Amino acid sequence: MVAQTEQMLVEAWEKFCDYYDTKAPKYRRNWRPELNEKQAKESHWICWNEYDLTFHIGRFLYDILSKKKEEEFLNIEVHLEKNVNYTNFNGYEFNGELEGFINRLKQKGVIKKRGPKIDMIVACEDSNASFLLCAEVKYFHYASKRYNKTPIQKINADIEKLKAIRDYKIAKRVVFMLFDDYYWYTDEKAANAIQERLDEIRHEDGITVLFHTSEAKMCGFRPDC
């Protein structure tokens, strides 16, 4: 069941990517056909912020779940942006691990005071067991240096959170999802660094990584599209 849940999330991600690649070029052509290439690159369609991206993935995941007939999948729910702390999850089987979990993330500089906010939790609603899966969702749609953080620093913070979730058995599986609507075309050096870091996460940390770019919205500016 756990492996199937992760595969369903992968499928939901792929469905979203197909949705984006189909819709975004049409929105750009229909609404702002006068944009030049630079302006189009800096514009955003479908996902205006990170929550939009998380929501879309969640809706595709629910659609996949709705087609499952097996009883074990009938009680699965998807929750977005929930703080994992003593108040919210008192009585769960991982309750005794929360102190170590939260302290580790404080020491790593990922959080300051309260329990960390997890972007997506997939859980059996009729069980107090560890979550089936936790996912962090990252959406690059502006220059993160405006907040004095590089894209690698932002990725690393999410990965530290996911590793702690896994190590303290908050969830049985963890997944990192990155949609790049900024760096892939504006900064080759940053784009290469991102790809190298994602490869390290897959191979060294053993975390499932899902990655896509907004290249489809540029259809019309390239001779092959």
Is the residue at 93 inside a domain?
A: yes
Is the residue at 201 inside a domain?
A: yes
Is the residue at 38 inside a domain?
A: yes
Is the residue at 224 inside a domain?
A: no
* Whole-number pLDDT of residue 112: 78
CB 157 within 8 A of CB 189: no
Poorest-pLDDT segment among 56-60, 88-92, 120-124, 156-160: 88-92
Is the residue at 136 inside a domain?
A: yes
Q: Give the length of the chain.
A: 225
In terms of Cα–Cα distance, which of 58, 30, 57, 24 is closest to 43?
24
Which pTM value belongs to this model?
A: 0.92
Residue indicated by tokens 């504006």: 186
Strands (E), 59-165: 76-83, 117-124, 131-140
Higher pLDDT, 129 or 73: 129
Higher pLDDT, 102 or 225: 102
The first and second tokens of residue 158, run together, are 């999410």
Give the whole-number percent of the chain exceeding pLDDT 70.
93
Give residue 172's domain range: 2-218
The answer, yes or no, to whether residue 179 has pLDDT greater than 80, is yes
Give the whole-number percent of the chain exceeding pLDDT 90.
66
Is the residue at 223 inside a domain?
A: no
Q: Judging by DSSP bridges, how do beta strands 131-140 and 208-213 pair with one another?
A: unpaired
For the chain, give the longest Cα–Cα distance. 58
Is the residue at 214 inside a domain?
A: yes
Task: Give the containing element (helix H, strand E) for 58.
Answer: helix 50-66
Crossing angle of the two packed helices 98-107 and 151-167, in degrees rounded to 10: 160
Q: What is the C-alpha separation between 214 and 60, in angstroms, rounded? A: 18
Is the residue at 73 inside a domain?
A: yes
Q: In total, how many domains does the chain have?
A: 1
